[in-house]
Amino acid sequence: MRLPRIACAPAWSSDVSLSSPRKSVLQRIFPAVSIAGVLFLQASPVPAAGAAATVHPELWPKVTSPLPPDPALEARVGALLARMSVEDKVGQMIQADIKYVTPQDVRKYRLGSILAGGNSGPDGGQYGTAAQWQQLADAFHRASIDRSDGRPAIPVLFGIDAVHGHNNLVGSTLFPQNVGLGATRDPELIRQIGEVTAQELRASGIGWTFAPTLTVPQDNRWGRSYEGYSENPKLVAQYAAAIVEGLEGAVGTSQFLDADHVLATAKHFVGDGGTRDGKDQGDAEVSEAVLRDVHAAGYPPAIRAGVQVVMVSFSSWNGVKMAGNKALITDVLKGRMGFGGIVLGDWNAHGQVPGCTNEDCAAAYNAGLDMLEAPDSWKGLYRHTLAEVKSGAIPMSRVDDAVTRILRVKMRLGMFKGGLPSANPLAVDAVHIIGNPAHRALARRAVRESLVLLKNQHGLLPLDPRKRILVAGDGADNISKQNGGWTLTWQGTGLTNANFPGATSIWAGIDAQVKAAGGTAVLSVDGTYRQKPDAAIVVFGEDPYAEFQGDLPNLAYRPGDDHDLDLLRRLHRQGVPVVAVFLGGRPLWMNREINAADAFVVAWLPGSEGEGVADVLLRTRDGRVAHDFHGKLGYSWPRTAVQTTLNVGQADYHPQFPYGYGLSYAHPSSVGQLPEVAGMVLETARAGVYFAHGKPARDFALDITGANGKSMDVTATPSGAADGSLLVGALDYKAQEDARSLRWSGAGEASVALTTTAPLDLDRETNGDVLLVTTLRIDALSPEGTTLGVSCGSGCSARLPIGNGLAALPRGQWLRVGIPLKCFRAAGADMQKLDSPFRWSSSAGERIAIAEVALGTVADRTLDCRQH
């Protein structure tokens, strides 16, 4: 039986006394919860959905809005509302993604808002320059205020995920991701970062960010842990006000939402960081007190700072999807907490409410959401919502409340004062704003402050820059890796240093300072050298990921892949003092790596200004320490790979390094050999890979079905269908026989498939715009045509004719070809129970080779659903 999460809920205070007896800690933290109640909860099973999801608004903090109703503004809102038709109103309540909506659509449907999702950019690309973003923003703005049809002109809101700086803009200043900012313990720095982010947004013509993320992650297996500042709700609450004030300007001053500031979005309300097993979009099985005191801690301060938008979480609370939770949204957030701005849904999250689809969800509006994010589904949603408003299924009073809030926020932002996005003074001056030296200096300072020193044996750090320093590891000269997800692309993948003009890699920063001091720095990713160095800095860590793609089954660092460990150990064996610099979005179990290094620095995901690392790791050329370590852990560091819910103050708190830990030059301390017991078997299993290295993934089989309908497992090569219609051989892709060749001959259709007896649920991936990526080589195509299909149990399948799409590809060349998963759903597949995610069918004349079949977001060619 699983116990409710309260058993490991954080109990902490800002100056945590780890030895304080548990009872008093709990009493301090949950004053409203009696100890007897806690013990009772610990012993009882998870209550059924519904029962445990009862909300008591009167027990939630009462917040007084800093923005009392402004009669003049409300009168303008009311007058405009009175002129709007029901069509105008419904349009305002919908947000579409720029990948799927045109300015003409915005004019026609009077959409209230557009967004640029992580993979959407100007001109169909994924990211763009300031000029391109401005042009795009202008085009949509113009369309929204076009009065040629006699309808009221209501400027469209344009939102984007600027979550660590304006991270979709080429050349922008990229700050450390929130996990690093949490370690700085510096709210004033956070405020300034908000200010700079707002300026760079305005410079690109955008006035709204989907930030800050006020999540309080309790299980670091969650792929979004790095988007949170800390596991500690008090720290999150402290930062909430600072970041909102930075982005929006101080409420009550003339700077509030002026031309230098933007709308902020507190997200994801509420419980996103409390889901069971750290599963993204999962279920937070916690008591109402924990939901309020831990997960909602950031919202009252954000509201008091004047936050204008709250985004509702994808997740559930005790079985109830947040996008349908009226009690928490209407009664608590809008009622008790007095939130007067826009409540926005997350990316098609409404489609997960029981009885809803992405295109139809009265329940979400009725629960109190004012605007639904319907990236690709907006047209259907518009049609259904309009019908539901007309039929009364969504009451007009609800519609008017939603539209009033939307117009109110637009007016507060000064959108009706005219002026194209590109006319904002910061946009006019974009070249001097975006990525300017002052902004980069702030980001570099943030990097310095965020570094956490776990270990520094024999005072190895700071290094003398006049010596010979080897810089190794695949993170050393890798700006993409030092930024992580939500960077230019949604997943932060598919990028090279050339995508980051003006940015500095960690290596480049070290090199510059060592050179200036007269020393020698050598970059060698694999750590080999000709002349023995005086010390080595090895930069390694997690590769970029976003959302559910970063979810882990446990906290082991790269189980089954020891190449970083081997590099550290090899240098150590060779007698080279080793400084390890870890890049990553969360604490992971890596005691072996820590043991293999003499000094160990956690750099989190520092962003574009990699030189901040050299600032702290190196002495000045005259031997001084210019910058000491400052960062303290905002998340507890695990002692084993299975300590998945490890939060300060909980009962049985035995971290490897506790919350708040961090050494400095001024306060050194010796760290002995750490235990190397992971608590689990460290074996690899890359999620979402179905075929690689010449074999199907665990639980998968490679099958062929001949023209005679007979199927067989391919366990050895060469082999083939008995009727000779399809032959399978082995060939080399990157290693010996790590790919399969497929040759169709004989009459009739034959297929090759990857099948599993443990059906896959790819629903979330499908909604998230994930691709099925096949690494293949086309030698010849069958004139009869090729299809790629999936199957989903008996009588359930979908097939896409891809022959035309393939015909355009070069022959004889390895390529990653992607097909959006949602094409299979559109073709009728049930993506929740796939027993084959890949079935390639063709007939005589086709010859191809396949090296890998996997989920991904990057491909050399992406076929679109209509293209085939």
Residues marked as catalytic: 346, 547
The residues pairing with 298 across neighbouring beta strands, listed in sequence order, are none
- Nearest approach, Cβ of 69 to ligand BGC (angstroms)? 29
Q: Tokens 């990157």 — which residue?
A: 734
- Nearest approach, Cβ of 430 to ligand BGC (angstroms)? 23
Which residues in 87-96 are b (16+ Cβ under 10 Å) and which e? Answer: bbbbbbbbbb
Determine contact, residues 33/50, Cβ cutoff 8 Å: no
Q: Is 849 left (phi over 0), alpha (psi -120 to 50) or beta?
A: beta
The tokens of 521 are what? 């720095």
- Nearest approach, Cβ of 806 to ligand BGC (angstroms)? 24
Of 322 and 411, the one with the shorter C-beta distance to ligand BGC is 322
Of 164 and 455, the one with the shorter C-beta distance to ligand BGC is 164
Cα–Cα dist 589/581, whole Å: 15
- Nearest approach, Cβ of 768 to ligand BGC (angstroms)? 3
Of 767 and 797, the one with the shorter C-beta distance to ligand BGC is 767
- Count of CA atoms in the C-beta half-sphere (13 A) of 802: 27
Of 115 and 578, the one with the shorter C-beta distance to ligand BGC is 115
- Nearest approach, Cβ of 857 to ligand BGC (angstroms)? 8
Cα–Cα dist 774/16, whole Å: 50
Kindly list the residues in this chain that would bind ligand BGC in the complex (CB under 6 A). Answer: 115, 117-119, 161, 210, 267, 314, 346-347, 490, 547, 767-769
Torsion angle defined by CA atoms of residues 752, 758, 759 and 760, in that order, rounded to the nearest 10 degrees = -100
- Nearest approach, Cβ of 373 to ligand BGC (angstroms)? 6
- Nearest approach, Cβ of 550 to ligand BGC (angstroms)? 12
Determine contact, residues 273/218, Cβ cutoff 8 Å: yes
Determine contact, residues 39/676, Cβ cutoff 8 Å: no
- Specify the pairing of strand 599-604 against strand 452-456: antiparallel
Determine contact, residues 506/581, Cβ cutoff 8 Å: yes
- Nearest approach, Cβ of 240 to ligand BGC (angstroms)? 16
- Nearest approach, Cβ of 820 to ligand BGC (angstroms)? 9
Q: What are phi and psi of 83, to 5 degrees?
A: -90, -5
The tokens of 172 are what? 């922008």
Cα–Cα dist 197/200, whole Å: 5
Q: Tokens 């020393």 — which residue?
A: 519
- Count of CA atoms in the C-beta half-sphere (13 A) of 765: 27
Determine contact, residues 11/650, Cβ cutoff 8 Å: yes
The type of residue at 812 is G
Residues 6+ positions from 60 with CB-CB distance below 8 Å: 292, 296, 332, 336, 337
Give Rg (Cα) of the chain: 28
- Nearest approach, Cβ of 661 to ligand BGC (angstroms)? 29
The residues pairing with 841 across neighbouring beta strands, listed in sequence order, are 751, 787
Q: What are phi and psi of 301, to 5 degrees?
A: -65, -35
Burial (CB count within 10 angstroms: exposed 0-12, middle 13-18, buried 19+), residue 19: exposed
Neighbours of 715 (CB within 10 A): 10
How far is C-alpha 250 from the geometric centre of its chain's CA atoms?
28
- Nearest approach, Cβ of 158 to ligand BGC (angstroms)? 13
User: What SS3 state is found at 805?
Assistant: helix
Q: Tell me the angle at which helices 233-248 and 187-203 cross, rounded to the nearest 10 degrees.
A: 40
Of 346 and 543, the one with the shorter C-beta distance to ligand BGC is 346
Q: Tell me the angle at which helices 35-43 and 22-29 cross, rounded to the nearest 10 degrees.
A: 100
Of 211 and 618, the one with the shorter C-beta distance to ligand BGC is 211
- Nearest approach, Cβ of 253 to ligand BGC (angstroms)? 27
- Going from the C-alpha of 697 to that of each of 702, 751, 833, 853, the distances in angstroms are 9, 19, 17, 10
Residues found in the chain: 868
Of 99 and 326, the one with the shorter C-beta distance to ligand BGC is 99
Of 831, 836, 868, 855, the C-alpha closest to 358 is: 831
Work out the widest C-alpha separation in the chain, in whole angstroms: 81
Neighbours of 107 (CB within 10 A): 20
Of 342 and 597, the one with the shorter C-beta distance to ligand BGC is 342
Of 114 and 614, the one with the shorter C-beta distance to ligand BGC is 114
The residues pairing with 847 across neighbouring beta strands, listed in sequence order, are 743, 780
User: What SS3 state is found at 194?
Assistant: helix
Determine contact, residues 127/492, Cβ cutoff 8 Å: no
- Going from the C-alpha of 321 to that of each of 42, 270, 271, 375, 412, the distances in angstroms are 24, 10, 11, 19, 31
Of 167 and 456, the one with the shorter C-beta distance to ligand BGC is 167
User: What SS3 state is found at 105?
Assistant: helix
Of 398 and 764, the one with the shorter C-beta distance to ligand BGC is 764
